[in-house]
Structure 1
Amino acid sequence: MKFPGQRKSQHYFPVTTPRTLLEQSAARTAHGQSYVVGIDQTLVDIEAHVDDAFLERYGLSKGHSVIITDETAEAVYKELKDNEMVVSEFAGGTIGNTLHNYSVLADDLSIMLGVMSRNIAIGSYAYRYLCNTSSRMNLNYLQPVDGPVGRCFTFISTDGERSFGINAGLMNRLSEDYIPKEVIQDSVALVITAYLVRCSDEDTIKTATFKALEYAKEAGVPVILTLGTRFVIEDDPKFWQEFIRDYVTVVAMNEEEGLALTGEKDPLLAANKTLDWADMVLCTAGPEGLYMAGYTDDKYKRLTAHPILNNEQFPEFNLYEFSRPMKRSACENPLRIHSHIAPYMGGPEKIKNTNGAGDGALSALLHDMAANGYHKLNVPHSEKHKSEFLTYSSFAQVCKYANRVSYEVLAQHSPRLSRGLPEKEDSLEEVYWAR
């Protein structure tokens, strides 16, 4: 487990005493393992250059998204491959992207639940999914299916217009029999997306998701919900408010999804309103930056050393952003905490990809939560664990980390990181906590 951010090298245990390999192995085995688990619709993003005749031939509407059948998807894919029209094939899916990036950042285990084609041909889209996924992601719990996983085709016309063909394949056929209770209840967090909850009743992945939620709730495992898109939320915001209240610990959203959920256009106010139902909120707001909101106990509040920020309804809203997040139920005197950070370096000089920036931010938050769980398992008597904190770092530090990861995703074509972040200098906050 890599810890978020760079910290000074210190020897906490004697390093001059010789230790055999057997002793070292036994010491590692004695320590617990910290990991996150997620459920996703297994999806591959396929991008290709085509002409208008191609779109007409397959009944695709230029500039729009169209649901296509399995037969059409297979025919389209065959023609694209036969004529070498495919530009790229990337593993996709909101949770898949998040878990991959988490494993790259943490250099540690994550587990994904979903479906995968039983028979995989070299060079196929299912093969590409596996190739574009971190080896640290455990895919052993995927359910084998006799058919294709989901495919999202992006067709780029000669004039640059983008059209989309979406085929679900068997990505929504996850059975509750492939939801391992022990895996979920021993995890640091369960990560899901709103798409899973609003699938049709015929899609078994919906039942499987609720089974996983019950397991997590029974064991007190934090549940992280990413809202996915405002169209899913604005259809029935009351449903989502009640769902979050009943099952969710952390909500990840952007400003549009926040508006759909709360009716608040200001992302800070939307994040604050979401705290009526959740314990912590991560809200990305495009060029405005990134917000976090949550709770801490009044006795654990910590003053910021950063410039004080003001909002018309929240003067000095970041005053205690050096505090660490807690569940509201764990606080004797809960205090709402807010934090904000502007885009790293003002944002990339050229944004190459907006798909996955929010997922990247969420992966940073998950890394910090897992680091907290790992540290608690291995150094249980540390001052870091004098109460039930949700993260290893403070609101401000998690904001900084999430912001940095979003920048890396925006600056590349793929929503999945190929490497971790470059080393960072110690922050003012790290010096603060080291005192």
Structure 2
Amino acid sequence: MKKFQIVGIGNALVDVLAHCDDAFLDANGIGRGIMQLIDMPRAVDLYGRIGPAQEISGGSAANTIAGIAQLGGRTAYVGKVCDDQLGAIFAHDLRAQGAVYETPLAPKANGHETGRCIVLVTPDGERSMNTYLGWSEFLTPEDIDEAQAASAEWIYLEGYRFDGPESHRAFAKAIAACKEAGGRVSVTLSDPFCVERHRDAFRRMIREDVDLLFANRAEILSMYQTDDFAAALKAAASEVAIVACTESEKGAHILAEGQHWHVPAIPTRIVDATGAGDLFAGAFLWGLANGHGHEAAGRMGCIAASEVISHIGARPEADLRTLFSRYGVL
């Protein structure tokens, strides 16, 4: 048995969550329902404009790893923060979930701060994200512990982290160490605009190294440059062994071993859609790592996504294993 079931690699951010209306988004030039990269001055200005906010340890892949840890999975995370207030929040929260987090904190004098994502939630639960990557942007191959990657059954790579000068080489180092030791590789596309920026690199990695592809409808259409959802799913399945693609209130599509399962969503009142895809991926990976079939793992993913969108914040508040039992998948 390997030391870790899943090791995640991605951004290390603190989410700053606030409610607003569509007029606020328009007045401040914020794209609705997408992630926009911003610089430090914009982050400071926007923070001053929003109303009351909650600060919660976040980052897409870190949310996924926290969900797996809450389920009892053996997890670790790689992502960079500074030795500042937000960095301490991030490290403590992730470790408190039960995940191993050993990435060294950068000194305060490095000229950067811990990254943060200002998440603006409109009344329909849609989230518009404004992300200052901070020190998280500077992931390098030197930050990858090859022994840790080799000790993982799966590594989970965050597509957002493709926005960084050295991140592609860092991912390549982790992939090589994992696969040489018999592990498998999963990646999430993260955002359609992220796909637009890095499509060639994504496609090359998917074809050559990836065993499991996570995406939502918009991301997979962007990746395969088509408006035909069925065609995009088919194209992805021709390149990777397992495809797990979410489709909001329509549930998820799982393609593996020549089969296609449609898993319905779990109805709930949407309070904050932040983290839905992250927790879907976490529950799906946990299910696979613990011997459950592809369809059952997809159902677990939909249950976890439903739980996390029913409240503010991208970390589960209910016990996910209890929910899995309630819905008959555990």
Query: Is 1:279 the counterpart of 2:244 in the alignment?
Result: no
Q: Quick one: which amino acid aligns to residue 60 of structure 2?
A: T
Cα distance change on mapping 1:258 and 1:175 into 2, 3 Å: closer
* Displacement after TM superposition at 1:357 (Å): 1.0
Query: Are 1:368 and 2:287 an aligned pair?
Result: yes
Deviation string 1:362-384 (CA, Å, 9 cap, x unpaired) is 1112112322xxxxxxxxxxxxx
Counterpart secondary structure, 1:393? coil
The one-letter code sitting in structure 2 at the alignment partner of 1:91 is S
Q: Does 1:403 align with 2:302?
A: yes
Residues 284, 66 of structure 1: alpha-carbon distance in 2 compared, 3 angstrom cutoff: closer
Cα-to-partner distance string for 1:192-236 (whole Å, 9 max, x where unaligned): 022223x24xx3333222211221232231111100011222456
Asked if the contact 2:246–2:253 (Cα under 8 Å) also holds between the matched residues in 1, the reply is: yes
Amino acid at match of 1:405: A
Instruction: Give 3-state SS (helix, strand or coil) of 1:152's partner.
Output: strand
- SS of the aligned residue for 2:273 comes to coil
SS of structure 2 residue aligned to 1:220: coil
Equivalent residue number for residue 187 of structure 1: 152
Partner Cα separation in structure 1 for residue 312 and residue 19 of structure 2: 16
Counterpart of 1:173 in structure 2 is 138
Cα distance, 1:97 vs. partner?
0.6
Task: Read off the aligned partner of 1:97 and give its amino acid letter.
Answer: N
Residue aligned with 1:275, SS: helix
Following the alignment from structure 1 to structure 2, what is the Cα–Cα distance between the partners of residues 117 and 279? 37
1:182 and 1:417, CA in 2 relative to 1: closer, same or farther beyond 3 A? same
Work out whether 1:99 is the aligned partner of 2:65. Answer: yes
| Aligned-residue RMSD, C-alpha | 3.3
**Secondary structure in 2 aligned to 1:206?**
helix
Query: 1:268 and 1:364, CA in 2 relative to 1: closer, same or farther beyond 3 A?
Result: farther
Question: What CA deviation, in whole Å up to 9, does each residue of 1:406-434 have, x standing for no partner?
Answer: 1111211111113422252584x88xxxx
Q: Quick check: 2:2–2:152 contact (8 Å CA) kept in 1? A: no
Residue 406 of structure 1 aligns to a residue in which SS?
helix
Kindly tell me: are residues 413 and 267 of structure 1, through their superposed partners in 2, closer, same or farther at Cα, counting changes over 3 Å? farther
Q: Which amino acid aligns with 1:187?
A: A
TM-score (norm 2): 0.83
Greater Cα radius of gyration, structure 1 or 2: 1
Query: 1:172 aligns to what SS in structure 2?
Result: helix
Match of 1:113 in 2: 78
User: Are 2:311 and 1:341 equivalent residues in the alignment?
Assistant: no
Aligned residue pair count: 316
Equivalent in the alignment of 1:9: none
Q: Aligned equivalents of 1:238 and 1:231: distance in 2?
A: 13
Q: Indicate the residue corresponding to 2:90 in structure 1.
A: 129
Q: 1:196 to 1:210 in 2, by over 3 A?
A: farther
Does residue 61 (structure 1) correspond to residue 22 (structure 2)? The answer is no
Matched residue of 1:189: which SS? Answer: strand
1:311-322 pair list within 5 angstroms? none
Percentage identity across aligned positions? 22
TM-score by length of 1: 0.64
Residue 353 of structure 1, CA deviation: 1.5
Residues of 1 paired with 2:126 and 2:249: CA distance? 24
Once the two structures are TM-superposed, the CA of residue 101 in structure 1 deviates from its matched residue by 0.7
From 150, 161, 167, the equivalent of 1:196 is 161
What is the identity, as a one-letter code, of the residue corresponding to 2:30? G
Contiguous gaps of at least 5 residues in structure 2 = none
C-alpha distance in structure 2 between counterparts of 1:68 and 1:238, whole Å = 24
Structure 1 residues 132-188: Cα deviation after superposition (integer angstroms, max 9, x where no partner): 43431111234534341111224689xx99986532221111232221111111111
CA contact (8 A) 2:273 2:309 kept: yes
Equivalent residue of 1:35, what SS? strand
In structure 2, the partner of 1:38 is: 8
Distance of 2:139 and 2:198 partners within structure 1:
25
How far the C-alpha of 1:96 sits from its partner, in A, is 0.5
Equivalent residue number for residue 169 of structure 2 = 207
Tell whether the 8 Å contact from 2:187 to 2:210 is kept in structure 1 after alignment: yes
Hey, what does 1:321 align to over in structure 2?
Answer: none
Separation of aligned partners in 2, 1:250 and 1:113: 19
- Relative to structure 1, the CA distance from residue 365 to residue 47 in structure 2 (aligned partners, 3 Å threshold; closer, same or farther) is closer
User: Match of 2:254, SS?
Assistant: strand
Deviation at 1:99, TM superposition (A): 0.3
Report if aligned partners of 2:11, 2:79 keep a CA contact under 8 Å in 1.
yes
- Equivalent positions of 1:75-94 (< 5 A) are 86-94=52-60
Aligned to 2:223: 261
Corresponding letter in the other structure for 1:398 = A
In the alignment, is the contact (CA less than 8 A) between 2:18 and 2:54 conserved in 1?
yes
Question: 1:43: Cα distance to partner?
Answer: 1.1
Cα deviations by residue, 1:266-299 (Å, 9 ceiling, x for unpaired): 545433321211110101011211110112xxxx
